[in-house]
Amino acid sequence: MMIDLFLVVTLVVTQDGATRPPGLQDLPGGDRVEVDTGRGEIRFAAQVQHPKGKPCIDSFGQRIQAFVGCGTAGGRPSEFADHFVFLASADAEAVYRGLIEAGAVAKVHYSRAEGRERAGKDYLDGDPVELFVAWEEGGRRVERRYQDLVREKVEVDGKEVVRTWEPRFVFHGSGVIHKEGTGCIACPCDCPGGIIADNRNPIYEPKPTVRFDWTKAPPEGSTVVIRIRLAKGASPW
């Protein structure tokens, strides 16, 4: 299988010789993954779908599946393509290899079977990363953090509080390294089925209680660009 990775520079040169940050018109389409080593990030396109009836889409719940994922993994249809809100045409292996090319390092990874044996005890680990979603709206570019599109229900001082999701994303690469085929990119818990996980809690348990926030998201059918970059700081695990 051929996986397309494109190295790009940080700035785009205009016809008059000026430079500017890349806009949506400069970013990848189709199944391309662009790797920007200067910025330490990758970018790829995705389509918005509304996976009605799936956990955490229209009501609070818990799930292992990412909200952003790929339609294929290792050249085959991914297991959870019908669960993702942001469905990328790029293969999961291209996303993984792009992050490696950008400088990300996976430190602790497991298969899903190994993860079940370590549930509630061990943690996945790797370089911290940040995710962003960008789209065109009313003729202007909108970009939001991935976590700002999800609400989280927590208990604070004995009271239930709903807040913006506060994950701690790390690049562990398990889903590709162990050929899991899920297509998941950034999971809402410490799940070894994807590429990136929220490792605030141990593997699989406990899972956060979350709900996708459609009031802040682009409409179904929209094309978006997913941007994943290496974050400053290090995971404590």
Q: Is the pLDDT at 5 greater than 70, yes or no? A: no
- Six-digit token pair at 177? 């390294």
Asked if 121 and 203 touch (Cβ cutoff 8 Å), the reply is yes
Domain ranges of the chain: 29-230
The predicted structure's pLDDT at residue 15:
40
| Chain Cα centroid distance, residue 227 | 8
Task: Give Cα 10 distance to the centre of its chain.
Answer: 21
What is d(CA 220, CA 22) in angstroms, rounded to the nearest whole number? Answer: 24
**For residue 175, which phi and psi values (nearest 5 degrees)?**
-60, -35
- SS3 category, 83: helix
Q: State pLDDT tens for residues 136-161.
A: 998 899 999 999 999 999 999 999 99
**Interatomic CA distance for residues 26 and 225, integer angstroms:** 11
216 vs 29, higher pLDDT: 216
Mean of the pLDDT values across residues 184-207? Answer: 97
Note the pTM of the prediction, 2 decimals. Answer: 0.87
- Give dist(CA 7, CA 115) in Å, integer: 34
- Give 168 or 19, the one with higher predicted confidence: 168
196-217 residue pLDDT tens:
999 999 999 999 999 999 999 9
CB 145 within 8 A of CB 132: yes
Neighbouring residues of 164: CB distance < 8 A, sequence distance ≥ 6: 147, 148, 150, 151, 152
The pLDDT confidence band at residue 23, using thresholds 50, 70 and 90, is low
Residue 21 clears pLDDT 80, i.e. is over it: no
Q: Report yes or no: 169 and 104 within 8 Å, Cβ to Cβ.
A: no
Spatial separation of the C-alpha atoms in residues 126 and 187, rounded to whole Å: 14
Residue range 59-83: average pLDDT?
98
| Nearest Cα to Cα of residue 115 among 50, 177, 37 | 177
Return the minimum-mean-pLDDT range out of 2-11, 64-73, 121-130: 2-11
**pLDDT attached to residue 174:** 98
Share of the chain above pLDDT 90, in %: 83
Whether the CB-CB separation of 165 and 151 falls below 8 Å is answered with: yes
